[in-house]
């Protein structure tokens, strides 16, 4: 899940100022609170303002503006909702050279929660006769659910190597291809990871969870491309109408959660030590260049590499299930990775701020990197189009493939939204589901859904989320990421 989202406090709503900047941007002026160093900026339009006002998440946008070294603005994407410290959908960049800080609350508990999209050479006609069998087999063969372990078990020494090397570690073991590595963000390995900073407790939690989905909003979904918006970009991404794709959403599981938990405890006294005045103790942080800041970043990067490997092993298992059900090797089914992109990360990147190029620490909490065409960090095959951006919606409506937009660098440090965004807490969604059968409702809409628990479907029902088409339309009009293709769900497994 994107964060350990709480169901309290968000019911009170936001009564502060929201000033319209343009058709897709609203400002919380830094005059709102004494201590704000920059404005808050939220990407939204009139359709989302009632939901924004009903949620306390904009207050968190204002609070992030207090962080030392923050650059330009405290940002939030249209999928904004309440989170731990930062809102989900929160983005900020801090300058280490001017005392800029790193905050675990700006990354979240599920470090490198992210999505991975596979395309295939299958069509709807190929998959429809075996869809139920395929979804049932996925549920049997791929571990899903709270605390579930899998068949890939690593010793502490192996885990440390995996966290140091990322997906190339799996390539050497025959569980990833060179193309899989090349088409993963950062080639599946965040540099300068320091696995020695990961606790024994975290290692124990992660020993058998690499290659497992988990619970919450994580899933594996079989989809069909039902609309192409940009034919040139879609062709570059290998997508066409009627094509079957598979979307995987998971993160660093219990290992990442423990790294965050350990870090929050370790940083508890850092604000007092460095004289940091924070409006919310959940924003606990330390200067990027401090021992505490370097320790957190080293452990976070190690957990991020674990998450890349988790999604790689999940994809490997999905390929095996498709091959078993359809009776052909996965290569013959064209099951190639389109791209894998991370959500919850803090990364040192080069950006231009006030016409000055500098290295900043970009926090993306429930937000996705969206570098535009020509950026050197985009794989060669996509560089002319821009980075593939994958935005999951909900299991009853749609997901989207976009490409990095021309204004993302200047407006959002190369960032866009990461999903539809919740509009109901899990408690509220479960309450709304009483007397209903969500699985049957989804089936009537053409979606075969399987879940380890009835509560899982209730919590993640489509009505718990904003309309992803609206959210995607906003980032498209804002120039953060541009529409390429819409994918409709056919079958899904969840924990």
Q: Minimal CA–CA distance to 307: which of 108, 86, 115?
A: 115
Q: Count CB-CB contacts under 10 A for residue 265.
A: 10
Rounded CA separation 283/103 (Å): 6
Is 343 part of the annotated catalytic residue set?
no
Write the burial class of residue 58 (CB in 10 Å: 0-12 exposed, 13-18 middle, 19+ buried).
buried
User: Which phi and psi (to 5°) does residue 91 adopt?
Assistant: -140, 135
Rounded CA separation 410/353 (Å): 8
Q: Which three-class secondary structure state does DSSP give residue 339?
A: strand
Contact 428, 378 (CB under 8 A): no
Tell me the CB-side half-sphere exposure of residue 373, using CA atoms within 13 A: 8
Rounded CA separation 143/318 (Å): 11
Write the burial class of residue 272 (CB in 10 Å: 0-12 exposed, 13-18 middle, 19+ buried).
exposed
Outline where 343-453 has alpha helix (H): 408-412, 426-432, 438-444
Kind and range of the H or E run holding 304? helix 291-326
Rounded CA separation 21/238 (Å): 37
Token digits of residue 81: 């909702």
Rounded CA separation 398/334 (Å): 22
Output the DSSP codes for 139-192. Answer: HHHS--STT---S----HHHHHHHHHH-HHHHHHTTSS-HHHHHTBGGGG--TT
Cα–Cα distance list, 279 to 33, 60, 273, 274, 366 (Å): 10, 9, 16, 15, 21
The one catalytic residue in 81, 351, 363, 418 is: 418
C-alpha dihedral (4, 9, 13, 17), degrees to nearest 10:
-80
Query: Looking at 283-344, which runs of residues are DSSP E strands?
Result: 286-287, 336-342
What size, in residues, is the chain?
Answer: 495
Tell me the CB-side half-sphere exposure of residue 115, using CA atoms within 13 A: 28
Contact 319, 116 (CB under 8 A): no
Contact 283, 64 (CB under 8 A): yes
Residues assigned a catalytic role? 418
């Amino acid at each position: 899940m994107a964060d350990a989202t709480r169901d309290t406090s968000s019911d009170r709503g936001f009564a502060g100022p929201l000033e319209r900047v343009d058709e897709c941007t609203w400002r919380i002026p830094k005059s709102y609170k004494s201590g704000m160093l920059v404005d808050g900026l939220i990407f939204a339009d009139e359709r989302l303002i009632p939901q924004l006002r009903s949620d306390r998440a904009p207050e968190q946008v204002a609070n992030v503006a207090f962080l030392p070294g923050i650059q330009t603005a405290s940002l939030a994407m249209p999928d904004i909702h309440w989170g731990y410290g930062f809102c989900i959908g929160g983005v900020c960049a801090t300058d280490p050279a001017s005392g800029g800080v790193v905050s675990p609350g700006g990354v979240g508990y599920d470090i490198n929660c992210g999505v991975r999209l596979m395309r295939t050479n299958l069509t709807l006609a190929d998959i429809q006769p075996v869809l139920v069998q395929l979804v049932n087999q996925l549920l049997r063969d791929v571990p899903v659910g709270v605390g579930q372990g899998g068949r890939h078990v690593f010793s502490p020494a192996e885990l440390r190597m995996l966290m140091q090397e990322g997906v190339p570690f799996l390539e050497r073991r025959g569980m990833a291809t060179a193309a899989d590595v090349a088409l993963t963000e950062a080639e599946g390995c965040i540099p300068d990871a320091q696995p020695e900073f990961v606790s024994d407790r975290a290692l124990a939690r992660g020993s058998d969870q690499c290659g497992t989905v988990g619970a919450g909003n994580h899933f594996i979904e079989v989809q069909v491309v039902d609309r192409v918006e940009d034919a040139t970009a879609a062709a570059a991404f290998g997508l066409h109408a009627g094509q079957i794709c598979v979307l995987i959403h998971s993160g660093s599981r219990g290992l990442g959660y423990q790294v965050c938990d350990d870090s929050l405890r370790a940083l508890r006294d850092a604000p007092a030590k460095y004289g940091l005045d924070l409006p919310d103790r959940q924003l606990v942080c330390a200067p990027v260049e401090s021992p505490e800041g370097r320790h957190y970043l080293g452990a976070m990067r190690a957990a991020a590499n674990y998450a890349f490997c988790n999604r790689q092993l999940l994809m490997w298992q999905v390929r095996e299930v498709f091959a078993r059900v359809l009776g052909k090797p996965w290569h013959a089914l064209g099951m190639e990775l389109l791209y894998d992109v991370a959500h919850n990360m803090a990364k040192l990147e080069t950006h231009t701020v006030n016409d000055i190029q500098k290295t900043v620490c970009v926090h993306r909490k429930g937000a996705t990197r969206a570098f535009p065409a020509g950026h050197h960090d985009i794989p060669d095959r996509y560089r002319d189009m821009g980075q593939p951006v994958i935005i999951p919606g909900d299991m009853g409506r749609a997901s989207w493939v976009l490409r990095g937009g021309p204004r993302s660098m200047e407006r959002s440090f190369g960032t866009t939204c990461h999903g539809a965004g919740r509009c109901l807490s899990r408690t509220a969604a479960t309450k709304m589901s009483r007397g209903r059968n969500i699985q049957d409702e989804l089936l009537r809409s053409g979606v075969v859904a399987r879940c380890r628990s009835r509560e899982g479907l209730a919590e993640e029902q489509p009505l718990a989320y904003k309309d992803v088409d609206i959210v995607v339309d906003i980032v498209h009009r804002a120039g953060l990421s541009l529409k390429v293709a819409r994918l409709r769900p056919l079958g899904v497994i969840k924990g």
